[in-house]
């Protein structure tokens, strides 16, 4: 087959698929490139959909980044919307395309076939689930926008004063999309209940990290039901497993997504244990000349090197570009995934990369956790906001295993820097020496990322030891004394039961009050605790641990 | 000497010095630690001073992060303000301290001496320079605040309507501090002229990158005199070398800083060619047990491994901490500097790391430059702002040599990510695969940093070739054709002389209009130019170059 005549068929015309098509054209002017897309649109901004539902992105057209016509003009792509790839015959190198409007089918012989079919929202088998809407494409968005309008119309009916009861919505699932939808329905003026089966929203973060997110949701009037599942969806309500009945003019299911492997499986392509299409590092499926990328495929986890599902746009776009390189013969290798992700919710930035502690613990992987509560920028410059950061480190190798952050500002930057450090193989203590851009509006002379490195350095060298919020009870039960080194007025506003208050600045004069034996010290966030721990260690206390993240993290974890 | 009795004297009580003192105490409870500071304050926020002058940081007390008393209480430091170290006898391990109020001197025998005397503002030998104020410490700030008030009082005198003529100020020097001061004096309502001897402000950036900064300054009413020097400072004016006389109730000199080596030189310590105290990688000066850190010392450049001056707080603080580790016997090694820096000016973030093109060119170092103008976040989400980014790369090794960014939002993050990548030794094309946190409020599925990696990948592999704005004239003179692939309406609003307009989407149909031979293509920023260049290259044009950064960078560079 000569390159001049090769036909490449791409299934799925959004992030992965269209990135493949455009890059391939830049590499190969003469290939016949057909992109088929089941929905009515290509190259749309999936990640913007919730914000159009909320009216934050006002114009629907803003979501449509390209059209079949624009892609035809610029890239000579044969883009067919409302067209589904319904069957593949790998041996014959043939794919069957069905025009969904007419039902007409066409068989196309390909030299290469790229699958980027994405993922589908999970629809749990709950009675009444038919009524629950999901959000994946433009059509879903149109339905949801109409449903919001209808719900608001219906609920407002019968009221003629200026403050009708707000329309009710129940969002099932507290993942990224569920939380985004919740915010956007609130933004539309709806009364929203969010139901999440686990005890916390935002599974990529550990429980003590999401406390501010729970607070923000509640403060915005969201009726949060954690650790609860939906048992039935009625015509105008939703019933939970604790018997609660929530009024629900609108029900949205956002319980997660599953790789769309229908077509691949029907064609006998190998699907991995995690449920995604199995590909090698050059995106090759088990069938010759059939490639797959994006949400539909299994990736390689950057830490365990095991298969993983990471349905995110950065990786989908990159894989799309790289599979084009493979097809054009220019190399193109996949890279492992960290799962770096962020969501904006009610003014908070919530971000994570790598593994969280729950996962490390479940995998039995040794780790140490570092909690801090730094300011987004120098506190003496107006507008600084406190964030919570968490770093997870391999205690043996000092490798960075993961990081999480929550705050109003500057979280995105710190997570990106840490993700970069992880990719590059920097050790945790190397973060101390990063030369980050500092002026008072943007950071601190010791940036929060540097500070994580300093703290890690102390733990790694054994200069300091720390204890986690969830280990405190056991330590206190086994005779450790707890010293709260905050000021008396901070102590008075709330303290940990059993703590003895000796402000750090008085510690040297009051050493006789500190019991012999193991000691746990804590302050508000960990900094003064570190100073106090160093004093005690040098003054003869051998077993001194500083409560990681101080009272702030402890409260977030235990409340 | 037993550690229980060691005496450590630290000269300079701010970023480097006080970081040494506090860390040392955490490592050594029993050392006698004396910190002497010539000015009246320690641990103040140098970087905040301009903003107190401008009234952005309202409370003067916000600048004073610690006091001798607070440092005494927490760290048992013997902190002496208004005390100068006036002589060192290295052989005798003795330093002479003078109480500046009483004039009383004391000789202290040290086990270790740490110098962190910082840098001093350069005062050029201009007639009348005595009247120019400089800004380094709290006392300078007080003087400047008073001078602003006086100038405003004087100029306003005699007016009793509600809009008196604004008081005039001349800022000499367009470096970081000069620009910050300019902004802050504008913020105070002054009429400010900024005089800079080179053709651009912000020397760490290349000329085409600072065009937006010049625009912003002028838009804020700043009277910008580039490529001009001050020849005389009069009682109420300033004269420039072109004869211009600028009214100046207030004159501020911000021409840069020079390491304060007075004490070190008097003691015979070795000073390097760059004018800073010479230290080894453990901060040891040429005298035994005398260490030096911070703005006063020469660092090792991360790219050339030659000596360099980088008077910035991140490095000063880090060195302070690490020299304490050295003294305590716990290691502590310096790291090379990239010179990562940022400044906020009139709503713009202006940042850089590593080398700029001017410096690479001067050093005869091979490099390629990449210009982009990405959005701070997905353009379909409200509030995205365009930034200019520039990446400098070693064409042989693909090592990242430097980066610069200017824009209203998100520049800090990209520069920090690139600085991290540089420290970690990632190659430029590795930036493509970084897994950065993406949601529409924070970035793009292909983040601007990823995009730099893609572009570099194309240049590195030879898939694309580019030409710089300053190379265009020569290329056109040697017969290259220039094709502007923007739309006709963009072309109509302004174009490069001699360009032929063939919109990229029409290019395949109008190939007969493209002259044979070398071709330069360009669009607004480089993206469509890349698409067009790939079309032409594959359609038989062998020598096709894409104008880096497109029309936008060309205009910035040539205007
Ligand atoms: C509401 C929402 C918000 C999101 N927010 C973010 C975010 O903030 N950040 C982030 O990183 N990621 C986000 N994502 C995820 C991101 O959109 C995906 O990771 C990315 O789009 C995956 O690209 P893909 O090409 O694999 O799949 P998609 O972009 O989903 O494209 C797959 C396409 O294939 C089509 N298709 C499937 N099967 C066939 C077939 N047989 N024939 C023809 N066409 C077919 C589908 O109709 C679909 O349009 C979000 C996703 C959603 C739904
Ligand atoms: C106005 C301004 C804005 C700045 N903005 C930024 C910024 O945004 N970002 C950034 O990274 N950096 C910035 N810097 C630079 C930063 O402040 C310095 O890099 C840092 O403070 C250097 O620390 P140092 O300890 O070396 O010196 P300093 O912090 O200057 O401390 C040195 C101290 O030593 C004292 N001293 C000197 N000699 C003696 C002696 N013989 N006896 C006793 N005391 C002595 C001096 O009085 C001085 O207070 C700024 C500096 C200034 C002045
Ligand atoms: C937009 C879309 C069609 C991809 O189009 P694309 O042309 O491949 O991508 P971009 O428009 O980002 O342009 C990138 C190309 O321009 C080049 N480029 C960008 N800026 C450049 C510049 N200043 N100079 C030179 N080249 C530049 C890049 O190198 C890249 O080319 P390459 O792949 O050959 O290296 C596809 O990503 C898509 O459908 N996106 C919408 C869906 C989506 O991403 N959803 C998830 C997130 S909401
Ligand atoms: C503030 C100053 C006195 C330094 O004090 P410091 O106690 O060394 O520094 P910080 O208050 O930042 O605290 C850092 C220490 O607390 C530790 N720490 C911080 N947060 C912690 C946490 N959550 N848990 C445990 N430890 C923590 C760090 O590891 C570090 O200790 P280490 O050095 O022993 O590793 C000094 O930097 C200074 O004078 N600054 C003002 C001047 C200046 O910096 N100017 C330039 C910029 S404007």
Residue-wise pLDDT for A97-146, tens only, equals 999 999 999 999 999 999 999 999 999 999 999 999 999 999 999 999 99
| pLDDT for A154 | 64
- Residue B339 domain-assigned? no
For residue B128, is pLDDT > 50?
A: yes
Please work out, in degrees rounded to the nearest 5, the angle formed at the alpha carbon of residue B463 by the alpha carbons of B468 and B435: 90
Tens digits of residue pLDDT in B212-250:
999 999 999 999 999 999 999 999 999 999 999 999 999
Rounded to the nearest integer, the mean pLDDT of chain A is: 96
Query: Could A445 and B15 be called an inter-chain contact, meaning their C-beta atoms sit closer than 8 Å?
Result: yes
User: Mind listing the pLDDT tens digit for each residue in B394-428?
Assistant: 999 999 999 999 999 999 999 999 999 999 999 99
pLDDT at residue B150 in the model: 95
pLDDT bucket at B155, cuts 50 / 70 / 90? low
A552 and A478: one domain?
yes
Interface test mutation site (partner B, options A175, A299, A435, max chain B beta carbons within 10 A): A435
Each residue's pLDDT tens digit, A478-506: 999 999 999 999 999 999 999 999 999 99
Q: B255, B281, B312 — which closes off a domain?
A: B255
Q: Is B12 part of any domain?
A: yes
Rounded-to-integer distance, Cα B126 and Cα B136, Å: 20
Whether residues A311 and A241 share a domain: the answer is: no
What's the length of chain A?
A: 559
Q: Residues B41-75, buried b or exposed e (16+ Cβ, 10 A)? A: bbbbbbbbbbbbbbebbeeeebbbbbebebbebbb
pLDDT, residue B261, reads 98
Residue B336 placed within a domain: no
Residue A331 has pLDDT above 90, yes or no: no
Residues on chain A touching B344 (C-beta within 8 angstroms): 439, 441-442
In this structure, the answer to whether residues A357 and A394 fall within a common structural domain is yes
Q: What is the mean pLDDT of chain B?
A: 96
Strands A290-292 and B7-11: unpaired
Structure token digits, residue B498 = 């001699």
Do A169 and A244 fall within a single domain?
yes
B282-328, pLDDT tens digit by residue?
999 999 999 999 999 999 999 999 999 999 999 999 999 999 999 99
Name residues 245-274 of chain B within 8 A of A (Cβ). Answer: none
Active site residue B47: no
- Rounded CA separation B14/B229 (Å): 33
Q: What angle do CA B499, B501, B504 make, to 5 degrees?
A: 125
A342 in a domain, yes or no? no
Is B396 part of a structural domain of the chain? yes
Torsion of CA A23, A27, A32, A34, to 10 degrees: -10
User: Do A351 and A393 fall within a single domain?
Assistant: yes
Dihedrals φ, ψ of B381, to 5°?
-100, 135
| Nearest by Cα to B172 from B218, B118, B125 | B125
**Per-residue model confidence as pLDDT tens digits over A200-222:** 999 999 999 999 999 999 999 99
- Amino acid B162: pLDDT: 54
Q: What is the pLDDT, as a whole number, of residue B2?
A: 45
Structure confidence at residue A314 (pLDDT)? 98
- The answer, for A335 touching chain B at a CB cutoff of 8 Å, is yes
Is residue B455's pLDDT more than 50? yes
Which atom of ligand 1 is closest in space to residue A263's alpha carbon?
41
Last-in-domain residue among B271, B298, B328 = B328
Q: Is B66 a domain residue?
A: yes
Q: CB-CB: which of B29, B342, B534 is closest to A538?
A: B29
pLDDT at B163: 59
Token match 């208004």: residue? B82
- Compute the distance between CA of residue A485 and CA of residue B73 in angstroms, rounded to an integer: 13
Ligand 1, CB within 6 Å, residue ranges:
A 11-12, 14-17, 36-39, 46-47, 49-50, 84-85, 116-118, 135-137, 177, 260, 263, 294-296, 311-314, 316; B 438-439
> What confidence category does residue B1 fall into, taking pLDDT thresholds of 50, 70 and 90?
very low
Domain C-terminal end among B300, B328, B356:
B328
Is the CB of A177 inside 8 Å of chain B's CB atoms? Answer: no
pLDDT tens digits, one per residue of A404-424: 999 999 999 999 999 999 999
CB contact burial B477-505 (16+ within 10 A = b; e otherwise): eeebbbbbbbbeebbeeebbeebbbbbbb
Q: Residue B76 — very low, low, confident or very high, per pLDDT cuts 50/70/90?
A: very high
Q: Which residues of A have a catalytic role annotated?
A: 523
Least confident of A151-160, B10-19, B54-63, B535-544: A151-160
Based on the domain organization, do A294 and A372 belong to the same domain? no
Query: What's the domain count of chain B?
Result: 4
CA A487–ligand 2 middle distance (angstroms): 31
Is residue A270 included in any domain, yes or no?
yes
Instruction: Tell me, yes or no, if B316 comes closer than 8 A to chain A by beta carbon.
Output: yes
**Among all residues of chain B, which has the CA nearest to that of A333?**
B433
Number of H helices, E strands in chain A: 15, 29
Check whether residue B268 and residue B352 sit in a common domain.
no
* Residue-level pLDDT at A162: 54
Encode pLDDT of B186-199 as tens digits: 999 999 999 999 99
Residue of the CA atom closest to atom 42 of ligand 1: A84
Domain that holds residue B179: 129-255
- A155 confidence band (pLDDT: 50, 70, 90): low
How do beta strands B78-80 and B32-36 pair? parallel
Judge if B70 and B35 occupy the same domain: yes
CB contact under 8 A, A450 and B57: no
**Rounded mean pLDDT of A327-340?**
94
A522 is a domain residue: yes
**Euclidean distance between CA atoms B484 and B470, whole angstroms:** 17
Q: What is the CATH number of the domain that holds A454?
A: 3.50.50.60
Same domain flag for B174 and B234: yes
pLDDT, position A351: 98
Residues A248 and A263 reside in one and the same domain: no
In B, residues 432-461, which contact A (CB 8 Å cutoff)? 432-443, 445-447, 450, 454, 461
On whether both A208 and A98 belong to a single domain, the answer is: no
If asked whether residues A247 and A135 sit together in one domain, one would say yes
> What DSSP line would sit under A67-89, residue for residue?
-HHHHHHHH--EEESSEEEEEEE
**Which pLDDT belongs to residue A4?**
57
Percent of chain B's residues with pLDDT above 70: 97
Which of A216, A218, A188 is closest to A408 using CA atoms?
A216
Sign of the alpha-carbon torsion through B100, B101, B105, B107: negative
């Amino acid at each position: 087959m000569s390159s001049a005549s090769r036909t490449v068929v791409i299934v799925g015309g959004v992030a992965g698929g269209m990135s493949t098509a455009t890059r391939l054209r830049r590499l190969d002017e003469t290939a016949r490139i057909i992109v088929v897309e089941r929905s009515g649109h290509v190259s749309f901004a999936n990640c913007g959909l919730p914000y159009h539902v909320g009216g934050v992105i006002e114009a629907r057209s803003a979501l449509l980044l390209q059209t079949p016509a624009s892609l035809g003009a610029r890239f000579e792509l044969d883009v067919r919307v409302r067209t589904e790839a319904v069957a593949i015959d790998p041996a014959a190198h043939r794919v069957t395309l069905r025009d969904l409007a007419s039902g007409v089918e066409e068989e196309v012989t390909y030299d290469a076939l790229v699958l980027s079919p994405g993922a589908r929202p999970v629809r749990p088998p709950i009675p009444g689930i038919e009524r629950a809407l999901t959000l994946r494409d433009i059509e879903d968005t149109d339905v949801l926008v109409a449903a919001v309008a209808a719900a608001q119309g219906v609920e407002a009916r019968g009221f003629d004063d200026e403050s009708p009861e707000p329309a009710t919505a129940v969002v099932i699932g507290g993942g990224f999309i569920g939380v985004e939808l919740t915010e956007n329905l609130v933004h539309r003026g709806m009364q929203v209940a969010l139901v999440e089966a686990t005890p916390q929203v935002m599974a990529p973060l550990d429980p003590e990290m999401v406390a501010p997110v729970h607070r923000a949701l509640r403060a915005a009037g969201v009726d949060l039901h954690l650790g609860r599942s939906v048992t039935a969806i009625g015509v105008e309500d939703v019933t939970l497993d604790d018997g609660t009945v929530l009024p629900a003019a609108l029900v949205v299911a956002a319980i997660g997504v599953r790789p769309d492997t229908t077509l691949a499986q029907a064609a006998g392509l190998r699907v991995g244990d995690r449920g995604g299409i199995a590909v090698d590092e050059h995106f090759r499926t088990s069938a010759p000349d059939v490639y797959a990328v994006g949400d539909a495929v299994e990736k390689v986890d950057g830490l365990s090197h095991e298969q993983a599902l990471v349905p995110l746009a950065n990786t989908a776009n990159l894989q799309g570009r790289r599979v084009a390189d493979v097809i054009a013969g220019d190399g193109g290798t996949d890279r492992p995934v960290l799962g770096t992700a962020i969501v904006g919710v009610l003014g908070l930035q919530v971000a994570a990369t790598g593994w969280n502690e729950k996962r490390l613990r479940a995998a039995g992987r040794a780790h140490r956790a570092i909690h801090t509560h730094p300011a987004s920028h120098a506190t003496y410059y107006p507008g600084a906001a406190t964030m919570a950061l968490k770093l997870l480190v391999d205690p043996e190798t000092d490798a960075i295993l993961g990081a999480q952050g929550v705050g109003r500002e500057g979280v995105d930057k710190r997570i990106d820097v840490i993700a970069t450090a992880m990719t590059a193989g920097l050790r945790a203590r190397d973060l101390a020496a990063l030369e980050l851009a500092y002026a008072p509006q943007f950071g601190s002379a010791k940036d929060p990322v540097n500070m994580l490195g300093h703290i890690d350095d102390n733990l790694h060298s054994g200069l300091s030891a720390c204890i986690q919020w969830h280990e405190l009870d056991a330590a206190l039960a086994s005779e450790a004394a707890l010293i709260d080194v905050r000021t008396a007025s901070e102590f008075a506003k709330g303290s940990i039961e059993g703590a003895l208050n000796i402000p750090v600045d008085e510690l040297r004069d009051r050493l006789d009050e500190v019991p012999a034996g193991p000691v746990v010290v804590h302050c508000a966030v960990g900094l003064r605790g570190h100073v106090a721990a160093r004093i005690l260690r040098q003054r003869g206390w051998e077993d001194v641990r500083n409560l990681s993240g101080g009272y702030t993290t402890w409260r977030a974890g235990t409340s």
